[in-house]
Amino acid sequence: MYVVELIFEYLSTKLEVNGTITATSITATATGNVTGNLAGNVTSSGANTMGTLTMAGTLTSFNILPAANTTYDIGSSSYGYNTVYAKATSAQYADVAEIYEADAEYDVGTVVIFGGDKEITVSSLGNDTRVAGVISENPAYLMNDSATGLPVALLGKVKCKVVGSIKKGDMMTPEIVIRNSYDGTIGLNILAGAFRLVCTNGMIIGVIAQNYKNKHSVYNVSLDDIEPVIDETIKKTKIIFKDEFPILIDNNIKERHIVKFIELFPLQANQVVTQRLIVDRPKTFWDLFNVGTNVLTHHMSRASESTHTLENSLYGTMKKWALSEVGHA
């Protein structure tokens, strides 16, 4: 009897079997590996920690929690589930994106359009009707993820690249406008620069990089002569965005610039100019330029010649002041 008790005491501590165990039920605490074919149900209660669980049947559980937050995956890039059935899901990020093949590598936040040598290319027009979306950084949901290309946000909130400080509703893009007429009533006009849409009727204000005009006559230039003009226009527009805008953005104004800025406007506009300065609190020459465009487009007469004269000279004045500060630095 004593020997039998010793045997059962040993078995209750360590059981090693090289073969098959057939039992109605087994209740135990396992800390090692369980390897083999389990023909039945495996039921676990309480908090359990295990390594890899491989099974061909169905795993039924109340909650499946990872050992650490945002660390582990369900499935992998090589092995994924076919269909996931769920009532609701949530995500940390805020956009729905899809992979599109791009004609170049674009930074996160780049606005892209359908076109170019591939599926998408960078947008360079204001009010572009071909916009596909914005290059996403961390999509909440990514479609077509096995394809080669860049994630383009189609819906939701996403970072977007801009030049300078902007406010809600501002839209300022490099743009080329070509106007002509069939009957000769309007001459050929190529206007390019960086413009902000002022009203839905198409009125714009901004920075003109090139303004080419040619009257209709028997000595008109041919279309072949216009192509280099457009190329030169594009080059000048790129210079404005790359070289000139940063000068205004990166340099702070002084008190004397505020005084000189107010003096640019007619006396009847002094009150509204002062109010905008108090509200907007401009710090850089770019901020000051935006205060000026706001006053010109929303608080001064569009029929006044002085309004348009100041519009045409405002950017040049801000650039001159900023360059002067750079020279003093």
Contact present, 293 and 307 (Cβ < 8 Å): no
- Taking each helix axis from N to C end, the angle separating 305-328 and 285-298, rounded to the nearest 10 degrees, works out to 170
Model confidence over 203-260: pLDDT tens digits?
444 555 555 666 655 555 565 667 777 777 777 777 777 788 888 888 999 999 999 9
pLDDT in the model for residue 148: 92
User: Quick one: what percent of the chain has pLDDT higher than 90?
Assistant: 20
pLDDT in the model for residue 116: 86
At residue 75 the predicted structure's pLDDT band, cuts being 50, 70 and 90, is confident
Q: Region 258-286: what's the mean pLDDT?
A: 92
Q: Is the pLDDT of residue 139 over 70?
A: yes
Ramachandran quadrant class, 96 (left: phi over 0; alpha: psi -120 to 50; beta: rest): beta
Q: Region 153-179: what's the mean pLDDT?
A: 68
Q: Region 176-188: what's the mean pLDDT?
A: 66
At residue 285 the predicted structure's pLDDT band, cuts being 50, 70 and 90, is very high
Contact present, 197 and 175 (Cβ < 8 Å): no
Buried-state track 127-149, b at ≥16 Cβ within 10 A, e below 16:
ebeeebbbbbeebbebeeeeeee
The residue extents of the domains of the chain are 95-156, 172-238, 250-328
Q: Region 108-118: what's the mean pLDDT?
A: 89
Q: Tell me how far apart the alpha carbons of residues 154 and 136 are, in angstroms, rounded to a whole number.
A: 9
At residue 196 the predicted structure's pLDDT band, cuts being 50, 70 and 90, is low
Distances (CA, A) of 38 to 11, 57, 109, 205: 21, 10, 52, 75
Q: Tell me how far apart the alpha carbons of residues 35 and 53 are, in angstroms, rounded to a whole number.
A: 10
What HEC string does the chain produce?
A: CHHHHHHHHHHHHCCCCCCCCCCCCCCCCCCCCCCCCCCCCCCCCCCCCCCCCCCCCCCCCCCCCCCCCCCCCCCCCCCCCCCCCCCCCCCCCCEEEEEECECCCCCCCCEEEECCCCCEEECCCCCCCCEEEEECCCCCEEECCCCCCEEEEEEECCCCCCCCCCCCCCCEEEEEEEECCCCCCCCEEEEEEEEEECCCCCCEEEEEEEEEEECCCCCCCCHHHHHHHHHHHHHHHHHHHHHHHHHHHHCECCHHHHHHHHHHCCHHHHHHHHHHHHHHCCCEHHHHHHHHHHHHHHCCCCCCHHHHHHHHHHHHHHHHHHHHHHHHC
Residues in the chain: 329
User: Quick one: what percent of the chain has pLDDT higher than 70?
Assistant: 61
pLDDT in the model for residue 311: 83
Q: Is the pLDDT of residue 202 over 50?
A: no
The DSSP bridge partners found for residue 211 are 191
pLDDT in the model for residue 200: 36
pLDDT in the model for residue 231: 77
Ranked by mean pLDDT, which of 240-244, 295-299, 324-328 comes out on top?
A: 295-299
Q: Residue with structure tokens 């599926």?
A: 119
Q: Region 82-106: what's the mean pLDDT?
A: 84
Give the count of beta carbons closer than 10 Å to the beta carbon of residue 75.
Answer: 9
Q: Region 172-196: what's the mean pLDDT?
A: 63
Q: Is the pLDDT of residue 35 over 70?
A: no
Q: Region 136-159: what's the mean pLDDT?
A: 89
Average pLDDT of the chain, as a whole number: 75
Distances (CA, A) of 166 to 31, 93, 198, 241: 61, 23, 14, 15
At residue 81 the predicted structure's pLDDT band, cuts being 50, 70 and 90, is confident
pLDDT in the model for residue 102: 94
pLDDT in the model for residue 199: 40
Superfamily of domain 95-156: Head decoration protein D (2.40.300.10)
Tokens of 11: 């078995």
Closest by Cα among 142, 169, 146, 171 to 154: 142
Q: Is the pLDDT of residue 121 over 80?
A: yes
